[in-house]
Structure 1
């Protein structure tokens, strides 16, 4: 007699695997741009990120949420957020991997591929836990911005680029490493930062330059326990950018009031907050009135991370779906052998590989900002990649969840990773500018130079390899040159993204992947996963994506 509670026909956890070794699309996309790159560090990170130990830290960091302590037990205002120890373990691992400001160190810059290698590492770590990567991403983005205040950059750069993490609120010079955040949006403005009302009053000069007192609020301040923030406030000369440390140079705490933590759909392990400034000390970065351009420069880099993060989550969801369906049986076959399921899995694999290819291409452009064409492509591809990849993310996660059925929908004390992925996906689409903001930014980017010529040059290596791709390659430069009305900006962003993905896959992916992508995305409209034509080589596509060594 079989016991009623015997467990059988259930998949095992996908754990203790090297996320690098099982990700051929990531390896090939990286090889396209940096053929001789030493990937030993990525292999090591892949093993750590895929370990059961780090997965357990991710579970605990999401099960035990950040907690706000506005006062200590004696009534003193402290404005601190407490995290579970697993959150700090994850932060330490990310900093040790150099995912924050390390690419801006002299040693990393010397490699010529600092941003590309960091991008691949960021994607690998995302598969372990994405929520706490928010302060890591902001530290990455704001590090170069501080160069507009040379005195602050001189003092803070060693800790910003160091592979170390220290969560304590104390002087930067007493810490092995620091993190930074950004606080831009206000309740009345949202993406329209020019509507900000926070005021900056001059308060003299010191070793860090022009000092101000800030009064106002920020509706979203993510990771409020960072060591410092770049914030926007209205000065006499207009909206300006300011450096605001939590601990002042004399060792006292700055006035930063955390009003409450946000209760978010996902991104649970990370604390997002509302904050108030009341005579808060800050130092100007750059010129008065130049706050918006300053913030846009930082936003470009965090938008790169939105594309990278979504690509990483896609790969994680795909790997879990493949791992599950390879073990689970239904109707006399393993799920992965069922024809319709095989179509869904292959289609998801195409989407994941295309997202990886486009994200790494964008990161490659950041490594070559001394080249005018690469600089222009970085400007244009950033809103395109963020718009399209992030838009596809939630649909992707929902389809991958269906591959697990009810098991995918259940969270079970944080162990249901697929549900966590699903809740996490929208944040990358919303944060740093939602879809309309990205589409409008693309239209602005088209006025920055000869984008049509740059795209034509970028797409030329793929010409002649697929009829549908050739049609897009022929048409796009003229569409870009002619421009489109604002109402069609999303359509243009989608079409450029798909064409670039096809061209990149022509250079880095096997013929089965490239052909099926162009057939399904460029030759016809792709509206739902699992609709590849019967001619697609399902076996080859699924075999390439399988999460096994």
Structure 2
């Protein structure tokens, strides 16, 4: 009798093995293995992170920092953390603007789920902000350590890193004003000191987060049209607030002597304890710190005659509505009406845009770093999926075309990760010193020793990193979605949401807009190039060019032709900068971003590979140069057989320690 085929059903037929997401970073077990990146690179699913930590951290710090990253690489995959992330995505913030009888709800109009709150606590516990401000750590780059944690944590954080990034920026801003006297704002010094200590706390019971309220209806990144107004309160108004019991924040500290009124059209982290915002005074746009809430004394009694001092309400802020966004679902983003909020002037009146730049530089780095961390998780899912999914009778990793595709994406990801962490390393070096954090590391020939040179280089590269890495990560995650086919296109919140690349894609899209689009970043780069205060208006040749030339000196032994290619691309960029007017640079702004990105990433990958001659790192560096940095020139890449290339592809995408496992089954 002939065999009769059986139809599949919900319980019978093909069932694919569930992909196993590997640990992103694994720290070597022997102290001697920290001398080189080889062992951590072999053990880790994300080997570029291991190489980056090795490049920027001295040997004595790698074990300490690596242990924290190792531990978190396991925590982010725990079912409880994955559950929190799914809950934050699906049980979204809600607004309850009125009380039962229709009065304005000033007490608790915004409600977020337990998962969101739990993830914020983990952010604090893991030091996503505090590590950068721990002044007891002086012998390694605290920013690299901080963003090593962030790189592992962000894909599981369900956008809680948005308030953390703004908290980081606010902490940097306030740190510059901790020594300011009260002046005509009695109590400001104490308020700033207490606020700063809570922003950088690693204790969830004490920590605060900060909002950043800049965006108005007149224009996103263009704050020149700010319609929010601020004025000094009269003594009579201050006395009246004291009489009404509306003169203290939630800690019992005095509220500031400024009154702020206006409307903010897009305000993330609405559940934060404080906010930094811009408002216009009689002397121009100024920066202010406002507490989100204030005490309400004498309004409510607890028992007969006993006043409840714990009652608080919003500090002259009314949440108009929550934004319905493409992504970032768990993040409470709102339109805010500010009417009679009391706050403190930060720095000088009329200098608000200059003050706020301290936050923007930090948050732009966060935007890039967060984007590339999402990309890392997307590729991790692709690796895991490729090891268990079959097509036409073979596992995906046995299809050379598939592996070449994913290897090409991995090359792009390595470049973006190196570019982001170079900006991070420059930031940390500027905050500490070259001698403290770069000397005696693999990066001492990469990071300029001169502080003015480093400052100018970071000023030029920050908008490029923000624009290019954010956009590249979106494109990379789109490729990851395609890698999974229909699975990638679905909102997979089952199994802890570990397979939900669609969510990563939606959330990453926000970073291409937040803190300025690529066009805004391109305009910023054009201004830097023409700014006479920076290297006399010659930043491309004098600062960027000299950095490229110096860094490539250590690469010529292994990558002679690649170095020549990069130098020719550099000369083309210098010629454009020298011959173009400000108007022409603006017109070709996005081309400038691409030039600077290609040169920078090539230099960073070549430099990294030259430190130890690692085979995979060398192939990736060479591939990037020939694919992305080649100008219209005479150079032609050396040709090798596709079979040899395919062998290299597998090591790039799946790792040097991967061993195929033959499995039976059918698609």
Residue 548 (structure 2) pairs with residue 455 (structure 1): no
The alignment partner of 1:241 has SS state of: strand
1:419 aligns with 2:499: no
**What CA deviation, in whole Å up to 9, does each residue of 1:377-434 have, x standing for no partner?**
1111110101111121222111111110001101144635111112112101100001
Matched with 2:630 is 523
* Rg larger for: 2
Q: Against the structure 1 CA distance between its residues 348 and 440, is the aligned structure 2 distance closer, same or farther, given a 3 Å change threshold?
A: same
Q: What CA deviation, in whole Å up to 9, does each residue of 1:222-249 have, x standing for no partner?
A: 0111000001111111110000101337
* 2:123 alignment partner in structure 1: 94
Q: TM-score, normalised by structure 2?
A: 0.75
Shift of 1:204: 5.6
Q: Structure 2 CA distance, aligned partners of 1:263 and 1:285?
A: 32
Q: Does 1:488 align with 2:517?
A: no
Structure 2: how far apart are the matches of 1:79 and 1:490? 44
Say whether 1:48 aligns with 2:53: no
Does residue 322 in structure 1 map to residue 350 in structure 2? Answer: no
Q: Distance in 2 between matches of 1:50 and 1:350?
A: 25
Report deviation, 1:87.
Answer: 1.1
Matched, 1:217 2:217: no
1:472 aligns with 2:501: no
State the distance in 1 between where 2:360 and 2:271 align.
20
Structure 2 residue 319 is matched with structure 1 residue 258 = yes
Deviations 1:19-58 (A, max 9, x none): 4532111111222222423321111122212333322221
2:604 aligned residue = 504
- Do the aligned partners of 1:198 and 1:215 also contact (CA within 8 Å) in 2? yes
Pair 1:397-2:477 in alignment: yes
Task: Answer yes or no: is 1:182 the counterpart of 2:220.
Answer: no
Segments of 5+ residues of structure 1 without an aligned counterpart are: 167-175, 526-531
Deviations along 1:103-146, one digit per CA (max 9) or x if unpaired, are 123224x2441111111211111122351211011001111212
| 1:41-120 alignment, distance < 5 Å | 41-73=68-100, 75=103, 76-108=105-137, 110-120=138-148
Equivalent residue, structure 1, for 2:621: 514
The 5-angstrom pairing of residues 197-208 of structure 1 reads 197-203=227-233
**Separation (CA, whole Å) in 1 of partners of 2:81 and 2:133:** 27
Superposition deviation, residue 309 in structure 1: 0.8
Alignment check: 8 A CA contact 2:605 2:620 kept: yes
Larger mean CA deviation between 538-547 and 156-165 belongs to: 538-547
- TM-score (structure 1 length as normaliser): 0.91
Distance 1:226 1:67 in 2: 15
Q: 2:406 aligns with which of 345, 349, 366?
A: 345
- The structural deviation recorded for 1:60 is 1.6
Residues in 2 aligned to 1:357 and 1:541: alpha-carbon distance in whole angstroms: 20
Which structure 2 residues correspond to residues 156-195 of structure 1 after superposition, within 5 A?
A: 156-166=195-205, 176-195=206-225
Q: What CA distance in whole angstroms lies between the structure 2 residues aligned with 1:101 and 1:278?
A: 33
User: By how many angstroms is 1:100 displaced?
Assistant: 2.2
**Which residue of the partner structure matches residue 436 of structure 2?**
none
CA deviation digits over 1:424-458, x for unaligned, max 9?
Answer: 12101100001111001111222252322222232
The answer to whether structure 1 residue 132 and structure 2 residue 221 are counterparts is no
1:321–1:404: 8 Å Cα contact kept in structure 2?
yes
Tell me: CA distance 1:440–1:80, structure 2 relative to 1, closer, same or farther (3 Å): same
Q: In 1, are the aligned partners of 2:322 and 2:335 still within 8 Å (CA)?
A: yes
| Aligned-partner SS, 1:257 | strand
CA RMSD of aligned residues (A): 2.5
Contact 2:407-2:652 within 8 A present in 1 as well: no
CA contact (8 A) 1:349 1:541 kept: no
Quick one: distance in 1 between partners of 2:644 and 2:624? Answer: 9
From the superposition, tell whether residues 204 and 283 of structure 1 become closer, same or farther in structure 2 (CA, over 3 Å).
Answer: farther
Q: Is the 8 A contact 1:16 1:47 kept in 2?
A: no
Deviations 1:441-491 (A, max 9, x none): 111222252322222232222354214223223433444455552111110
Mapped contact 1:439–1:493 kept (Cα < 8 A): yes
Aligned with 1:143: secondary structure? helix
Give 2:392's aligned residue. 331
Question: 1:80: how far off?
Answer: 3.3
Specify which of 10, 35, 41 is matched with residue 16 of structure 2.
10
> Quick check: 1:217–1:276 contact (8 Å CA) kept in 2?
yes
Give the Cα separation in 1 of the matches to 2:266 and 2:17. 40
Gaps of at least 5 residues in structure 2 are: 1-5, 27-43, 179-188, 239-252, 297-309, 434-450, 610-616, 633-639, 659-667
Q: Distance in 2 between matches of 1:247 and 1:213?
A: 14
Aligned counterparts of 2:493 and 2:293: Cα–Cα separation in 1 = 36
Distance verdict in 2 for CA 1:545–1:457, change over 3 Å: farther
Name the counterpart of 2:661: none
Give the Cα–Cα distance (whole angstroms) in 1 for the partners of residues 352 and 200 of structure 2.
24
- Which residue of structure 2 lines up, in the alignment, with residue 243 of structure 1? 289
Distance 1:536 1:190 in 2: 50
- Give the superposition deviation at 1:210: 6.2
Paired positions, count: 533
- Alignment match, 1:171: none
Partner residue in 1 for 2:488: 408
Indicate how the Cα distance of structure 1 residues 317 and 522 shifts in structure 2: closer, same or farther if over 3 A, else same: same
Q: Partner residue of 2:637? A: none
* Structure 1 counterpart SS, 2:408: helix
CA distance in 2, matches of 1:534, 1:487: 40
Q: Taking structure 1 as reference, are residues 77 and 247 closer, same or farther at Cα in structure 2, changes over 3 Å only?
A: closer
User: Secondary structure at the residue paired with 2:207?
Assistant: coil
Distance in 2 between residues matched to 1:208 and 1:462, nearest whole Å:
56
Query: Contact 1:149 / 1:284 at 8 angstroms: preserved in 2?
Result: no
Distance change in 2, residues 1:16/1:73 (3 Å): farther
